[in-house]
Amino acid sequence: MKRFLYELTESWKIAAAQMYANKTRSMLTALGVIIGIVAVTLMGTAINGISTGFDKSMAVLGDDVLYVDQQPWIRKDDWWNFRSRKKIKTEYAEQINRMIGAAPKSNLLIAVPASSWFRSVKYNENQVNNVYMLGTTSDFLAISTVDCAKGRFFNEIESRGGANVVVIGYDVADGLFPSENPIDKMVLINGQPFKVIGVNTRQGTFLGLFSWDSMVAIPLPAFKRYFSAQSESEIRVKVKDKTKLAESKDELIGYMRRVRELPPEKDNDFAINEQQAFKSTLDPVKNSIAVAGLFITGLSLFVGAIGIMNITFVSVKERTKEIGTRKALGARRRTILLQFLIESTALCLVGGLIGLTFAFFMCLAIGKALPSFPIEISLGLVVTSMIVSVLTGLVSGFAPAWSASRLDPVTALRYE
């Protein structure tokens, strides 16, 4: 055991001396690993970022909220089958709330109506197009995961009365009021004046999906007054205990069948959606991106590994006589194997560390240049890339180290 330790320290010293003696060659070889590690680390970071982005976007939907819609979010059948269904009416929310109130053991907390459509919002010269406009009640606060950065959400009185007030998303505020405080300003939605009473905190956008920052919310009666012609409605229902989502869903289906007055033999003509359904559809996509991305960047690391393997073979060839001498002095096969494995590993480790440093600064730069792109470097990723570089060194150094350890001492000593 002790001998193994001495041989190990000796091998590290030799590796360092070897790298120092062949600086140019070592640097060029390490460059392959550096590029590989930078590519893999950046890809890993991006995948992490995408994953966090997805999760963050999903979190806005809330993992304890059920969505009653005309159609399921993820359609398995023909779209036409769902098109003929009756629309979801905002009045259902009150009916469901009454049923929840009548059932003391209900898993459901509250049902909130939400109508939506896309509209442009204007303030003086500034205009933001394609804003997701939500008509809802003050109960929305209970189910929302979005807070107000400035001002407030509309209250019950404004909600019932259908006051011309609006709560705007961060990006809308940014677009309309680049240098002013938006609170108490009048904006025009479809030509109708609305007073801004709140601005949401920034949610961050992700690849253009679920851009909750470009949302505005107005009281439902106001929405109906101006935009009911074309709109889609849904009922959002918050559950009490998100671990009992399945039971809650069954309860809600029961209520909805009563609301829709469906006889037992008829199928549901509505859909209960939840965040999880989205996730399970998006996860395979996310995973394919991850696999494809890591595979492609992994190739560059593979090329780096071939460089390491090549240089270790050269090193073994050059130092055949030295190997012979060491064997004559009592070095065993394992000792020689270890020495060359450590040399290739040391080279990869140096490459990995330099690569990681580069990747770190590149991440910082990307983060500065594209704040919306979700990129994050984690400790796990650092550890992983270090492990990857060590493994690369071990794998690529193995064949040459093995051949060195099997050299016949007589032949090796005679080698010129």
Partner 1 sequence: MLNTETMRPRGPIVIDIENITKHYVMGEETVHALRGVTLQIHRNEYLAIMGPSGSGKSTLMNMLGCLDTPSSGRYEFNGKDVSAMDDDELAAIRNREIGFVFQTFNLLPRATSLRNVELPLIYAGIDPVTRQERAAQTLRDVGLGERLLHKPNELSGGQRQRVAIARALVNNPSIILADEPTGNLDSKTGEEIMALLENLYQAGNTIILVTHEADIAHHARRTVHLRDGLIESDALSEATEIQTLAFT
Number of residues binding to partner 1, judged by CB under 8 A: 26
The answer to whether residue 320 forms part of the interface with partner 1 (CB under 8 A) is no
Q: Considering only CA atoms, which of 48, 30, 113, 21 is closest in space to residue 289?
A: 48
- Token digits of residue 62: 């809330």
Looking at the Cβ atoms of 8 and 262, the one nearer to partner 1 is 8
Query: CA-to-CA distance for 110 and 239, rounded, in angstroms?
Result: 7
- Token digits of residue 351: 């490459």
Smallest separation (angstroms) from partner 1 to the CB of 11: 10
- The strand pair at 192-200 and 165-168 is best described as parallel
The answer to whether residue 102 forms part of the interface with partner 1 (CB under 8 A) is no
Among the listed residues 303, 328, 387, 391, the single contact to partner 1 using CB under 8 A: 328
Q: Is the dihedral of CA 132, 230, 90, 256 positive or negative?
A: negative
The footprint of partner 1 on residues 191-230 (CB under 8 A) is none
**Contact pattern from residue 6 through residue 25 relative to partner 1, giving x for each residue in contact according to CB under 8 A and a dash for the rest:** xx--x------xx--x----
Phi-psi region at 161: left, alpha or beta (left = phi > 0; alpha = psi -120 to 50):
alpha
The answer to whether residue 330 forms part of the interface with partner 1 (CB under 8 A) is yes
- Beta-bridged to residue 200, according to DSSP, are 148
Phi-psi region at 184: left, alpha or beta (left = phi > 0; alpha = psi -120 to 50):
left
Query: CA-to-CA distance for 162 and 218, rounded, in angstroms?
Result: 8
Q: Which DSSP state fits 146?
A: P
The answer to whether residue 343 forms part of the interface with partner 1 (CB under 8 A) is no
Q: Which range in 83-91, 128-136, 147-155, 322-330 contacts partner 1 by CB under 8 A?
A: 322-330
The answer to whether residue 410 forms part of the interface with partner 1 (CB under 8 A) is yes
Helical axes 92-102 vs 245-260, angle rounded to 10°: 120
Q: Which DSSP state fits 229?
A: T
**Contact pattern from residue 33 through residue 52 relative to partner 1, giving x for each residue in contact according to CB under 8 A and a dash for the rest:** --------------------
The answer to whether residue 55 forms part of the interface with partner 1 (CB under 8 A) is no
The answer to whether residue 249 forms part of the interface with partner 1 (CB under 8 A) is no
Smallest separation (angstroms) from partner 1 to the CB of 401: 15
The answer to whether residue 2 forms part of the interface with partner 1 (CB under 8 A) is yes
Among the listed residues 102, 246, 329, 379, the single contact to partner 1 using CB under 8 A: 329
Query: CA-to-CA distance for 272 and 376, rounded, in angstroms?
Result: 34
The answer to whether residue 409 forms part of the interface with partner 1 (CB under 8 A) is yes
Residues that bind partner 1 (CB under 8 A): 2-3, 6-7, 10, 17-18, 21, 321-322, 324-335, 408-410, 413
